[in-house]
Amino acid sequence: MLRAYTAAQVRSAEEPLLAALGDGLMERAAFGLAMVVLRGLKQRRGRVRGSRVVLLVGAGNNGGDALHAGALLARRGASVLAVTVAARVHAAGRAALLRAGGRVVSVAEDGADEPVWLGDAVAEAFTADVVLDALVGIGGAGPLRGPAGRLVAVLAGLICAEEYGSPWVVAVDVPSGIGVDDGTVVGPVLPAGLTVAFGARKPGLLLPPARELAGHVQVVDIGLVPGLVGGGEPAVASLETADVAALWPVPGSRDDKYSRGVLGVVAGSERFPGAAVLATSAAVRAGAGMVRYLGPRSASLAVLAARPEVVTADGQVQAWLLGPGVDPLDREQADRVTRVLASALDGRPVPVVVDAGALELLPETCAEHVVLTPHAGELARLLAARGRATERGAVEAEPLRFARLASRLTGATILLKGSTTIVVSPNGAVLAQGGAPAWLATAGAGDVLAGVLGALLAAHGPRVIAEPGLAARLAASAALVHGRAARRASVGCASRRGVSTWSSAVEVASAPLGPISALDVAEALPGTIAALLARPAR
């Protein structure tokens, strides 16, 4: 599991180390940063000597980390230029860089170093082999301002244009200007190819929209782990293969279709029968012991034509999936949704996935074992219906804030879909799952995700009711598998090979991607799950 800690948690863990080590803690961070950059330069250029390194340096300790790292790089033969944006920077780091043969210039009007025109500083950075972004660290808040904001805005614009190639950008601890604790982006940010995080990830490196600007994240151990582990739960976590494999239901010799989990599905309508096909197909392919489908005759016929193993009759279930393709104005389906929700919350509760059309039929309050799966627009409408007028754009800009608000107002577990999926539990736990290919943004993909999650909830039915936080972990697990199935399907489509032929995780991760349909993703689920559960050869 990847764990991320807030700025306050990191500072608290740093305190005893600072008391014991003093400047030695910065030296640890700088050495780790320099080693990562050295390895990267050797891979990219074949050698370090003669490479051009530009440091973007602010007034804080992050700037000191970069200056000390720059001194180490200069001693290895790199040409290092520090561009400062503040009147004063870390004195010891500056002195170390100058002793090592580096240069220091300033774009600040009142800077103490050699002044340089902003355009020349941008040109130096854009033509460098590597740029270290150390303008602001975990103490920063709000958008970059002044020379730092202008420098990043121009440089980021050139890099995003991608017309002439661009430097390798390494963010020092966090990309400058992101919301460290909430992942927001309220001003210019330099997109990083790599972020070197000191001691631990910060929430903004896992949360959208900042996650998209952090690139690959590498954590450098500086001794914070004992203090962080003893200081409380992580602020945000992201499940990995082993975490999901441990949660995934694997049948034994004594299992039957009932013990493996029966999922009831209320989905589809006369207008949208395909959603029922996709949701039931995904549940079957994800391993549900049985799927019961309830819906209009036309949708039932479509489901049976695609999945003859689905049972189109009511009966006992261990979980429900409600809403894909449901028209809230279709009274028959709307009544089914309302009845199921009432029974799932009272008397003998069972877990429920509430998606798409069923989101408009929710009672005022739910429970943790009810998982809502909106996209940003649906979440905005859900909040507005509860007196919190919200626009889709606001949800996309601050997804964590609004997902938390929705969980607090409804009492439900929230899975907010997006390029990075956020899961928020009523107990405060936050999970973020990214890595899905952009090709997954296609019609019906959400129906497939709902089916996967429904199958998981059915397999763990009684535990979900009894165990706080399990619904959220299963929702994050479904998101991870959904994203990996999309990648597997996308690789298969791009290569004109069947998705089942891709068995190696490395092969799938490195292969070219192409367009996919939602049904492609559902069909890729068995191979994805098999790869997830496979044990590495000894």
Domain membership flag for residue 501 = no
- Looking at 187, 207, 232, the residue that finishes a domain is 232
Question: Residue 265 class from Cβ within 10 Å (0-12 exposed, 13-18 middle, 19+ buried)?
Answer: buried
Same-domain pairing of 193 and 283: no
Predicted confidence (pLDDT) per residue in 415-465, tens digit: 999 999 999 999 999 999 999 999 999 999 999 999 999 999 999 999 999
Residue type, 306: A
Question: Are 210 and 269 part of one and the same domain?
Answer: no
> 311 and 379: one domain?
yes
Cβ atoms < 10 Å from Cβ of 92: 13
Helix ranges restricted to H, 142-183: 146-161
Does 130 have pLDDT greater than 80? yes
Confidence tier at 384 by pLDDT (50, 70, 90): very high
Kindly state whether residue 512 falls inside one of the protein's structural domains. Answer: no
* Residue with tokens 């661009």, as numbered in its chain: 166
Does a structural domain hold residue 537?
Answer: no
SS3 state at 148: helix
pLDDT band at 162 (very low <50, low <70, confident <90, very high): low
Query: Length of the chain in residues, anyone?
Result: 538
The β-bridge partners of 413 are 371
Q: Are residues 82 and 150 in the same domain?
A: yes
Question: Which range among 61-65, 139-143, 264-268, 511-515 shows the weakest confidence by mean pLDDT?
Answer: 511-515
Measured CA to CA, the distance from residue 37 to residue 73 in angstroms comes to: 8
**Together in a domain, 169 and 205:** yes
Q: What are the start-end ranges of the E strands in 86-235? A: 103-106, 114-115, 130-134, 168-172, 194-198, 216-220
Q: Does a structural domain hold residue 529?
A: no
Q: Is 515 within a domain?
A: no
Do 224 and 285 lie in one domain? The reply is no
> 285 and 202, same structural domain?
no
3-state secondary structure (DSSP) of residue 337: helix
Asked whether residue 509 is domain-assigned, the answer is no
Q: 463 and 317 share a domain?
A: yes
Q: Which of 232, 263, 278 is the last residue of a domain?
A: 232
Rounded-to-integer distance, Cα 461 and Cα 317, Å: 9
CA proximity to 489, closest of 469, 508, 476, 470: 508
Decide: helix, strand or coil at residue 134. strand
pLDDT score of 15: 87
Instruction: Write the pLDDT tens digit of every residue in 186-225.
Output: 999 999 999 999 999 999 999 999 999 999 999 999 988 8
Asked whether residue 402 is assigned to any structural domain, the reply reads: yes
224-276 pLDDT, tens per residue? 888 887 767 899 999 999 999 999 999 999 989 999 999 999 999 988 999 99
Identify the pLDDT of residue 166. 82
Question: What are the two backbone dihedrals, phi and then psi, of residue 147, each rounded to the nearest 5 degrees?
Answer: -60, -35
Could you tell me the two tokens for 89? 């920077």
Find the domain containing 416 and state its range: 242-495
Exposed / middle / buried, residue 142 (Cβ in 10 Å: 0-12, 13-18, 19+):
exposed
- 411: domain CATH number is 3.40.1190.20
Question: The CATH number of the domain where 217 resides is what?
Answer: 3.40.50.10260
232 and 202 in contact (C-beta within 8 Å)? no
Tell me, yes or no, whether 237 lies in a domain.
no
The position carrying tokens 């199921």 is 340
| Tally of domains in the chain | 2
Q: Outline where 258-398 has alpha helix (H).
A: 273-286, 297-306, 331-345, 376-385, 392-397
- pLDDT-derived band of residue 7, with 50, 70 and 90 as boundaries? very high
Q: Are residues 53 and 15 in the same domain?
A: yes
Where does a domain end: 232, 255, 285? 232
Whether residues 216 and 257 fall in one domain: no
Beta-bridge partner residues of 131:
54, 169
CA angle 79, 80, 83 (to 5 degrees): 145
Residues 296, 220 share a domain: no
Q: pLDDT category, 502, cuts 50, 70, 90?
A: very low
For residue 496, pLDDT beyond 70: no
The pTM for the full model equals 0.92
Q: Residue 354 phi/psi, 5° resolution?
A: -115, 115
- Shared domain for 35 and 176, answered yes or no, is yes
